[in-house]
Amino acid sequence: MATVYCINNGGHDYSDALRFGKIKFLSEGPVSKFAISKMYRDFAMKLRESAPTDYILLSGLTTMACVACSCFAFLHGRLNILIFKDNRYVERKLMLGELLKVTGPEDELPKV
């Protein structure tokens, strides 16, 4: 079964996310939005255990979400996120790399 990495345990009801896997928290309680080096160290240690089929549950500060998603994407080349919508979590997946792949200096990024 997959693991759902909840960015911050802010005391909300995350029980609907159990449909996607067991929940592990990357942080708990108040965190400084400016302490991104500490976030990176803490999140990297926990996300090392993650698998490409796991999820990031968006919660907490924007800087925390940026760091957690960056770590996951770096490790797996993809991003699986859970977003709260209409009283339940919905999954969104991104396969990274193909649109941003540059093989040489003469290559251009694709026009979007």
Q: In which domain, by residue range, is 75 found? A: 3-95
The pLDDT value given to residue 10? 86
Structural domain contains residue 45: yes
Q: Which of 32, 27, 25, 21 is nearest to 55 (CA)?
A: 21
In a domain, 107, yes or no: no
Whether the CB-CB separation of 59 and 12 falls below 8 Å is answered with yes
**Is residue 111 one of the residues assigned to a domain?**
no
User: pLDDT (tens digit, 9 = 90+) per residue, 31-76?
Assistant: 999 999 999 999 999 999 999 999 999 998 999 999 999 999 999 9
pTM of the predicted model as reported, rounded to 2 decimal places: 0.86
Number of domains in the chain: 1
